[in-house]
A and B are shown apart, each in its own frame.
Chain A
Amino acid sequence: MSPSVAALRQGGVEAARRLAGRRRAAVTLAGAALAVAGANGAWATFAFGYPGKMSLAGFPGGARAYVLVLVVPGLAVLTRWPGRRAAAMAGSLGVVVVAAGNLVAIAKQGGGLGAVAAGAWLAVAGGGLLLIGAVAAPDDEAPTLAERTLPPAVEAAVVAASLGVVLALVWYGLGVEESSRFASFAAAVAFWASALAGLGVIGWLQALYPRHRTVTLAASALAAAAFPFTQGGEAQWIRVFASIGIFATAAIGLNVVVGLAGLLDLGYIAFFGVGAYVAALTAGAGTTTSHVVLPYGVAIVLGAVTASIFGVVIGAPTLRLRGDYLAIVTLAFGEIFRIAVNNWNSVTRGPNGISRIPDLALGHFNLGQPHRILGVELPGFANYYFLVLVLMAFVITAFTRLNDSRIGRAWVAIREDEVAAAAMGVNTVRLKLLAFAIGAFLAGAAGTVDAHFGRQVSPESYSFLQSVTLLAAVVLGGMGTVPGALIGSTLLLLIPEKLRAFQDPRLLIFGLALILMMRLRPEGFAPSRRRQRELHAEGEGADALSAPPGGPR
């Protein structure tokens, strides 16, 4: 931030602070009243290409409702709760962002500011007043909620309910069709979440989950399994979430390599590709040149094992190198894989790839067919979705158990200080190879599912960009954790799917989002306890580390 902007902001805060207590409350209340009035008034003066002819009272329905929802945290500043100022800032900023965003969208659609009706202006102004009221409030005490405990049964219920809310939000959000309306919805959720974080509710929940692990796991599994039943037989989002699951499985594998062992792998997608090609070549695909047909149970193991053999072959000579060299070698390996597959016509059919891969059949159960489960007709993709859930359950179990074992500790030790780890009896080369092999194994397994799920494999699906996207998912979500990889994968795959308008500048937006994340929340959305302390413990730890080496001589 440039000094002049900082000075401006400082000046704004000081100006707002001159409001005395009574007047501050009045400003907030006036803002809330304006925003509510605006949300209930007309926002646009055009309809269906007839600008100026009529006012559209109900348009845009969602955005106006979200403004109302966001006024609530904006009022937090009238309470005495610790964290009220942060919550009110989030709420009022949310009102401004949603109202102003829609105002711009309406003006663009209706051909100028003339298309904007009074309601939208009122809502923006109301948001502005709320913001002034929030800025004027005295500084927050830190939220005290995090240490609060309730009876265990109540806590368990809260845990389950919070995961239910997540499912409900996902279900509702997927139903929001239009891009700008979805953007408003996403903004409303994000600002509400940050308001709750300001009040310490999120921190409290984060402390609850580990205390009620069984309930958390059961409720997440239930919510995940319940998802296809909320889709009314529609395949679209089930398909998207199945592919997110496959991606997330690979991301968790990459998290072993990058997040735990600290090895930067830039060609990780190649292992995924190895698995996919093994499955494609052994599935009796319509266009294959190999005529081997293996049952899927064998193919998934074969794909995963082949990938991990590749991992060991790549790793054995390179893992003795330091980080930067490893990154270059893995990057090259990813490209070699893609180019080799692209040119090895006799086996991989080159750039055509292998298509018409049959649907998976486990015994007599064909995963491509719709099935009726619990009286609900589920499309074929739901079967893949459930298969991916099972695979993920395995991968998550393996990851968390490895992390909390002798092997996981050794990995983290290598990441922290390789020389010291070796001096403590850790065979660093062997453990790095193991991390590489396990990461490749998980990617290979995910690849075999993807070959059947996508029904075709071709070289360009395994480009450098895919490796980078996986890495971005891991970094964005939080290195070294399962929820991090899940959240990162979901965001990176779902948002382009929902915001079709942002399909083309997707990479630009990735880049911006990553920069913003590194600036605002470098530990990712769901950081490990370890990493969160690492990145926010400046000051406390600094003096201990910079103490003078050597005393009396």
Chain B
Amino acid sequence: MNAAPDPVLQARSVSKRFGGLVAVSSVDLDVGEAEIVGLIGPNGAGKTTFFNCLTGMEVPTSGEIRYRGRPLPGSPDRITAAGLARTFQNIRLFPNMSVLENVLVGRHCRMHEGLGSAIGRGRRFHREEAEARRRAAALLDLVGLRRAADDLARNLNYGDQRRLEIARALATDPGLLLLDEPTAGMNAAETRATGDLVRRIRDQGLAVVVIEHDMRFIFGLCDRVTVLVQGQKLTEGTPADVQSDPRVIAAYLGTPTGR
């Protein structure tokens, strides 16, 4: 299943150069409806830079990215509004807002009430606000954080912070969810729970791209795995194919920056 008939995401020869350093070099990536794609590679392979290019946080030097057939807009907020949502490798919650408020910020681009309505407080305002809170509560249920809704995000434990980031991203009603190392720092049980969560998200019809270093997690979860090495796509295929590819093993073991 190399070229899905109706690709959610279609990235064509995306490159990103920082001065003399080529961080991402001509990478193609297709993601189909309700597909989970893994993105692996040794440290410094350009996985996060590639994510940044997809979400508009970096402007690719060249290449084209289409979401459901349409080219993506230029700025991060409009890309999110178009349907791409992400989490961050180094958690970036709003630490001094409550858990619920964090998710409500995610609803921002799906809400419309403006200045006059916020001050005037008509019926539409209350309806939209109530709807947003209901959605946020449902998402907190999904990730298992309903009981912590009023806690400050900064006071959550590490795993809960990662889960809250996922809930916040889901609040933007994305068609494609980009997860940057969602299980980093988690123990085995938490990692398993996160895998279940990602599957549940996929079952709701979302496509997911996951960057992860935990191979067991990736190979157990993904429909397809793409390997990046030094900014270039090394190979792509089913977990079984990638796992047995000698080049992948060489790329991992041969990298001097082992950490």
User: Which A residues lie at the B interface, using CB under 8 A?
Assistant: 397-398, 401-402, 405-410, 412-413, 416-417, 419-428, 434, 438, 530-531, 533-534, 537, 540-541, 544-545, 547-553
Contact = CB atoms under 8 A, between A and B. Distances in A.
Nearest to B110: A425
Contacts of A424: 77, 80, 85, 105-106, 108-109, 168-169, 171-172
Given A416-B94, A540-B155, A553-B259, A409 B105 contact: yes
Given A406-B104, A406-B113, A547-B158, 17 more contacts: A407-B118, A409-B105, A419-B57, A419-B76, A420-B88, A420-B93, A422-B80, A423-B76, A424-B80, A424-B171, A426-B105, A438-B115, A537-B154, A544-B154, A544-B161, A549-B185, A552-B213
B138 to A, nearest CB: 18
16 contacts: A402-B118, A406-B104, A406-B111, A409-B97, A416-B94, A417-B95, A420-B88, A420-B93, A422-B80, A423-B80, A425-B110, A428-B77, A534-B96, A541-B154, A551-B184, A551-B214
B224 interface: no
A416 B252 CA distance: 37
Nearest to A401: B119
A426 B108 contact: yes
A-B complex: 9 closest residue pairs judged by Cβ atoms: A425-B109, A425-B80, A405-B118, A416-B94, A420-B92, A547-B158, A541-B154, A422-B76, A534-B96
Contacts, number: 149
Contacts of B156: 544
B86 interface: yes
A426 B108 CA distance: 7
B64 interface: no
Contacts of B155: 537, 540-541, 544
A397 B77 contact: no
A551 B183 CA distance: 8
Highest count of chain B CB atoms <10 Å: which of A413, A417, A530, A534: A413
Contacts of B157: 544, 547
Highest count of chain A CB atoms <10 Å: which of B77, B110, B152: B77
Contact of A406 (B43, B118, B214): B118
Interface of B: 43, 55, 57, 75-78, 80-81, 85-86, 88-90, 92-98, 101, 104-111, 113-115, 118-119, 121, 125, 129, 132, 152, 154-158, 161, 168-169, 171-172, 181, 183-187, 213-214, 259
A530 B96 contact: yes
A409 B109 CA distance: 12
A426 B113 contact: no
B185 to A, nearest CB: 5
A140 B185 CA distance: 40
A419 B184 contact: no
Given A547-B185, A550-B185, A405 B96 contact: no
A504 B111 CA distance: 52
Contacts of B171: 424
Contacts of A541: 95, 152, 154-155
Given A424-B105, A547-B185, A550-B181, A412 B94 contact: yes
B180 to A, nearest CB: 11
A534 to B, nearest CB: 4
A425 B104 contact: no
Contacts of B105: 409-410, 413, 421, 424, 426
A422 B77 contact: yes
Contacts of A550: 181, 184-185, 213
Contacts of B96: 412, 416, 530-531, 533-534
Contact of A434 (B77, B115, B214): B115
Nearest to A398: B119
Contacts of B118: 401-402, 405-408
Contacts of B107: 406
A158 to B, nearest CB: 25
Contacts of B92: 417, 419-420, 423
B114 to A, nearest CB: 8
Contacts of B181: 550
A422 B161 CA distance: 19
A551 B186 contact: yes
Nearest to B86: A423
B184 A425 contact: no
A413 B168 CA distance: 12
Given A423-B55, A425-B172, A549-B184, A407 B90 contact: no
Contacts of A397: 119
Contacts of A551: 183-187, 214
Contacts of A408: 118
A208 B98 CA distance: 21
A413 B186 CA distance: 26
Nearest to B111: A406
B77 A426 contact: yes
Contacts of A417: 92-95
Nearest to B213: A553
A428 to B, nearest CB: 7
Contacts of B57: 419, 422-423
Contacts of B85: 423-424
Contact of A425 (B77, B115, B119): B77
A108 B113 CA distance: 64
Contacts of A416: 94-97
A408 B111 CA distance: 13
Contact of A402 (B77, B94, B119, B214): B119
A408 B113 CA distance: 12
A280 B78 CA distance: 43
B82 to A, nearest CB: 9
B108 A537 contact: no
Contacts of B55: 423
